[in-house]
Amino acid sequence: MITFVNPEATLNIAKISVDTTSTNKKVLIYSQDGLGLGHLRRNVSITTQIKKICPDATVLIVADSPMAPFFELPPKCDFIKIPTIVKVDYGVWKSNRLNLDSNALIPVRAEMIQSIAIGFQPDIFLVDHMPQGALGELTLPIQNIKRYSQHTRMVLGLRDILGAPGDIYKQWTKENAYELTENFYDQVLIYGCQNIFDSVSAYQFPRPVAKKTHFCGYVTRGDVDQEFTNRSVKRYLPEREEKLVLVTGGGGHDASSFMDMFLDAIRKLQDKLPFIAIVSTGPFMHPEQMAVLQEKARGLPVTVATLGGDVIHFLKRADLIISMAGYNTFGEILHFRKNAIIIPRPGPSAEQTMRTDLFAKWNLFHTIHPDNLNVDVLAGAIQERLEDGSLVKGDNLPDMNGAYNAARKMLTTVN
């Protein structure tokens, strides 16, 4: 159970005054990542669009990713880092930094979030992914925000595919997420397209929740700066006439096995096809795993490196991308219409396999199910895709303007 001291005693609520007529809107974003960067990347993309639509807005992101801040923010925006917890299974979390179990850490996080929100007095509070927060940590803060910051509009932002419908329905029911969304959220934004995956139907949204739900399209980093954040990695980009294969596994904490298999596949292909490859390991790959990959890549036309946020430059340049099916990388592959081989993560959530199966019907890329993945299958797919050079056709693309649409929907409701 999460308990709080009296908010009025700690924050001197009576002295807080808010100018609700100001055009300098304040947006607070709750971004729960744990071991990963996907939610944070998506929220930074939305933040960028908020600033384009409303240049005077101030955006504050409450993040728990161990890599936060990782992405560069626009002016008048900032991060606040709260203690990290990592999801290990449905409803099961642990700290990977502090010697505290979740029962001790969740109240600390909840108190911090509540204090930040009531003190910041945002016009919009965008809660990412979980209406109740990790282990219900937002349940009481949301109620107190509604009491002590009455002008704040509560917005829930959801990836279209959260996991297997039965698992999500069970978890949301157990944690009163449906009731909380119905009673305390003013708006629900789905980062996807209803004709591809109807989240409202799949996750059995109650009618009052469905009525305030809007599908925004897919959130991607459509705008990419010309300059590298880390100019030292620019040297890995090949000359224009050389074919480039990019292998990426998101944050990288569980990507080393398929990257290792890729190196074995390259040994089979290096005398058949002229190309070079970049293996982007991600910030969460263990140093020992990265060292093993670098040693195995010796003598091959392969660079193993951590590219950080600059991986997007390599993605834009690549002739072929080999990736897992995480929401953000998946969206970038579609946005830039890239030739790709998608290998979904097998678990613990069904999210990536569901996404891959849905989009495979559109024939936008080649897919390999993890159960069918081996060196020969991967090598054959790489050779076929490099020789074919297929690109995503524009008329096959769903709406990829989700970041702008979500930002506009929030701000036009407030203004």
Phi-psi region of 414 (alpha: psi -120 to 50; beta: other; left: phi over 0): alpha
Look up residue 399 and give its amino acid: D
Are the beta carbons of 213 and 200 closer than 8 angstroms? yes
Give the pair of three-digit tokens for residue 49: 């669009």
pTM of the model: 0.89
Domains, the chain, with CATH or none: 22-218+400-414 (3.40.50.2000), 231-396 (3.40.50.2000)
Over the stretch 252-280, which tens digit does the pLDDT of each residue have? 677 788 899 999 999 988 777 788 899 99
**Residue 198 to residue 278: CA distance in whole angstroms:** 36
Q: For all residues of the chain together, what is the average pLDDT?
A: 86
Residue 197's contacts (CB-CB under 8 Å, 6 or more residues apart) are: 160, 161, 354, 358
pLDDT, residue 271, reads 78
pLDDT of residue 8 exceeding 70, the answer is no
CA-to-CA dists, residue 70 to 350, 382, 390, angstroms: 27, 31, 33
Residue ranges of alpha helices (H) inside 121-235 are 139-148, 165-174, 177-184, 199-202, 207-211
Residue 196: strand, helix, or coil: coil
pLDDT over 90 (residue 209): yes
Pairing of the two strands 26-31 and 58-63: parallel
Q: Best-predicted range by mean pLDDT among 71-75, 237-241, 301-305?
A: 301-305
Model confidence over 33-91: pLDDT tens digits? 766 678 888 999 999 999 999 999 999 999 987 766 667 788 889 999 998 887 766 56
* Spatial contact of 7 and 144, defined as CB atoms under 8 Å apart: yes
Q: Specify the range with the lowest mean pLDDT, choosing from 33-37, 147-151, 167-171.
A: 33-37
**Mean pLDDT (whole number) for 312-341:** 91
- Determine the Cα–Cα distance for residues 170 and 136; give it in Å rounded to an integer: 14
Q: Which residues, other chains included, contact 181 with Cβ-Cβ below 8 Å and sequence gap of 6+?
A: 131, 156, 188, 209
Q: Is the pLDDT of residue 206 over 90?
A: yes
pLDDT digits (tens, 9 = 90+) for 99-147: 777 788 899 999 999 999 999 999 999 999 999 998 899 999 999 999 9
| 20 has pLDDT over 90 | no
Residue 30: pLDDT over 60: yes
